[in-house]
Amino acid sequence: MLGDAWGNIGFSISMGMVFNSRITLKGNVMEKIFKFEQGVVLRDIVTSFTGVVMVRYEYFTGCIHYGLQNREVNKEGKADDWVYLDESRLEFLDNGVSFIERNKEGKLSGPMPTGPSFG
């Protein structure tokens, strides 16, 4: 479970680059729910802010929010914090970036099959 600064609790689900999907939990099976996939570029129809989808949240209340990373850097040469927006405010711009990269051994980067254990 993940929480945000306002105390809302939700969870993110990482899926492949399939556009226009939705996911719901039926028993122990997840079905697609998200309209936009991670890595695509979206624009906020209210402010015209554009960014790459880095994370998606579905809240218990049914709201779906996306965390967008701006492609520009600030005056200090650093990336600003992600901007979190409701799905209803967003429109698709382009396919953006692919996060699938290979490391030196030829394995896919990202989560490892044997993560760290605690205690």
108: confidence class by pLDDT, cuts 50, 70, 90? low
Question: CA 74 to CA 27: how far, in whole Å?
Answer: 45
Position 103 in a domain: no
Question: CA 65 to CA 33: how far, in whole Å?
Answer: 12
Position 67 in a domain: yes
Rg (alpha carbons) of the chain, rounded to whole number: 16
- Per-residue pLDDT for 73 more than 60? yes
Position 42 in a domain: yes
Average pLDDT over residues 100-116: 58
Pairwise pLDDT comparison (109 vs 96), residue with the higher score: 96
Q: What is the CATH number of the domain that holds 75?
A: 2.30.30
Residue 114 pLDDT: 58
Pairwise pLDDT comparison (91 vs 2), residue with the higher score: 91
Q: Hey, what are 28's tokens?
A: 């122990």
Structural domain for 61, as ranges: 2-13+38-94
Residue 31 pLDDT: 60
Q: pLDDT (tens digit, 9 = 90+) per residue, 8-60?
A: 434 434 333 333 444 555 565 556 678 998 889 999 999 999 999 999 998 88
Arithmetic mean of pLDDT over the chain? 74
